[in-house]
Each structure stands twice: as C-alpha cells, then as structure tokens.
Structure 1
C-alpha cells in the first residue's frame, strides 16, 4: 500500500498508524463503508497534513514514531486545529483514556475494536461537527442512509449480504462513474487471501438481480469495472 494513497469517495479521514498491515486492512475496511482514507505512519507527517490539508476526521494511534500521538494531540489543539480526533490504541487502561481525552481527543477506542462501533462513532462525530453533510445518498429510487448503514428502495429495506452491501456502498459513493474491478475486489473481500478474483462477478450478479425495479442499474464495463446509474426504464 502506498502510504499516501487515498480514494475520494466520502468524508475524508486521516489514519495515523505505523503498522503497515493494520493500516492497509483498516483503510480497506473503512473505504468499503464509504469513507476516503489517507494513511500516514508518523506524527510529524500527521501534523503537516492537519495544518495544510485537514481531513474531516483524524484516526490517531498513540504509539507512532516521531511525534507520538499525545504530542500530536497537544500540538493540534494548541494550534486550534478543530478536526475531530478519535484515538485508536492498545493502551486501554482508564488512566490512558483520561490522558488522551484531556489532551484533546474527542473519542477513544482500545484495540482490538469492532468496525461497526468505529463507524458509528466516526459518523456521530462528523454529524456533531457538521462534517457529514450528506446523510442520505440517492441513485434512482435507491437510497443509502449512511447513519444507519441501510439501503432502501422507497420505504422498503433492501436485504443485502455483507459483501453485496460493501459493493453497493462503493458504487453508490460515485454514481455514474466507473470503479475498477480490482479495487472493488479489495473492498468486498478485504481480509480474504484464498478467494478467486472472479468472485466479485458473482457478488455483482446477485446484487444486480436485487436492484431490479429500484430505478438503479448496475452496469458492467468490460475491461474497466462497474458503475451505478439511474435506470429510466424502471
């Protein structure tokens, strides 16, 4: 993974984590949930980004090289950088949480953490700080309630498997624009090591059937990937 790589889909998050495998896995998981994630591995780079290209929210590990997480917190708040900050760390003792919150963190999650809980806390902070302005995304009659993480066709909930949901969230973030099949595979199967690449086609086929009558079409672009668009015929 290129540590500077970001995918501009949803609210921009900066993830500061010096363990490359963990950073890559968390980046893929959050992108599958509709966020745009940039990664960096040290506190000095994090401060530079906060000063010159502030994200919607910062995910900050405390044990990082250069400036550690607490120093980043102190400097960011001393410079009146108002970006909401969630601390993600293995230091889960009550005293550590108090120190982090007193230093300026808005929230604190100990590792390991549940991704659903992390997403809920991120979205709550974004709403509180007015940085998650698009609470509902639409394409045709299809709607994504981002706070609930649920898809609706009209008033009816669209029943999806987790993989179908991950694929649809990725496509819903950029309706009318092609998303490469390789990228979708990484988002739909973020932790899989023995899944065949063609498995993404099976997920797309099943999702396309479920979208019938929704006013939304999942289109295959051979050699490019897939896109989501309004379907005037339904």
Structure 2
C-alpha cells in the first residue's frame, strides 16, 4: 500500500511511523509512506497557506491553491484512471471504526489531508476528497494525530504485516464484539489466578469461555454492538447464562 500524507507538520509523524510494526511493514515493502508539506507548494512569496473566511467569522481557513498543487504531486505516480481514495480528517466526518479500517486496507493507494485552523476551503473537499472521517466527537488542533491513528489501524490489517490473520480476527470490533480477557504466565500471581478453563487443554471449552466472555463484556460496556440478527444459537444460550448469573449475584 502507498500512503501520501498532505500536512503542514510532517515532523509529527516521524517517530510514530518509524517505529514498531509500521516501521517493519515499510522495511518489508508492504507499506510506503510519503510526507508532503503543503507549505512547500504555496505560490506566494511568504509561503502563506491560510486566509480570512469570506463572510467573516473567527479563525482562518487553509487556502485551496497549495493543497491542490500538493495533491497533484502526491498522485502523479498513482494508477491512472482510478480516482485516489482521499481522506480529509474533520469533526464533521463519518466516525472511524474497524469496518472502515478494513475497507481502507483493501486500497492500493491512499491520500490523507491534514487540516488546520478552521479547516480547508470547501472547494478542495468538493473536488478531490472522497471520504470525510472523524475519530470521535471532539476537536483537535489538526489532522495529524487522527491520520496517525488511522494509518496504524489500517496498516495492521494488510496481509503479512502481523504475520497471521488470527492476530486481529479475534480483536475487539473485528467480529462485532469486544475482545475476551487474556492471561499469561505465571499461573498464580500473588493469589491472582488464571481461570482454570484456560489451563484445561480443552479447546472446545476454551472457545466457549472466550465467546461467553466477549458477549459478557460487550453487554456490560457496549450493548449497542450486539446485533441480534447475527447471534448464533450458542450466543443466545450464552447470553441467557450471563443474564441468569447476573440475577444470582
């Protein structure tokens, strides 16, 4: 996958995107990332990239010319005839989730536009942006942090990055539920013990315990994620067990 990031602050990505799993993905040729400084493409003498909004109001707006020119540079080597999937990070966008991460991970090339100030000129959005995305109901000073979060979520889904699809298929949100608890050695730590079923070697019972734990955690913390139409007979039986156990407490 090729990712081009249009930003005023490319240095914000250096440590994050040059470490850990994302660094290895780039070293192994699974991911290519280029930072493009929008300010470098400003045509005015002082490299100014913002101006007052028409109609008045507080704050400044990023002007269209530097963004359009930076974008044209970003896509110059992309596949011809295919509109680049171009993501603008904005509180007005669709809230990012695992389903969207999976969707983006299927793309060969992505462009991220990191806005600042009061945002970017609407003509940029109308012309080149394909997806407006938010990472939550709050406002940040710019789009760099949301972009970094999205790249992390997308990259780990690329084939070969984690080594096995099992590494993410059991994780929270991938299956529609929150993930079950994990335990490791030692078996007993200061009287805190690992559940016996995980030590039994009975994989059928272990799978059952994990599914029940996922359902229970999801019911407690994110009941909105429970889709009745996708529950199996076993899921419904486990939910009944959970409800009965709650009543006994």
TM-score by length of 2: 0.29
Structure (1 or 2) with the greater strand fraction:
1
Structure (1 or 2) with the greater helix fraction:
2
Q: Which has the larger radius of gyration?
A: 2
TM-score by length of 1: 0.31
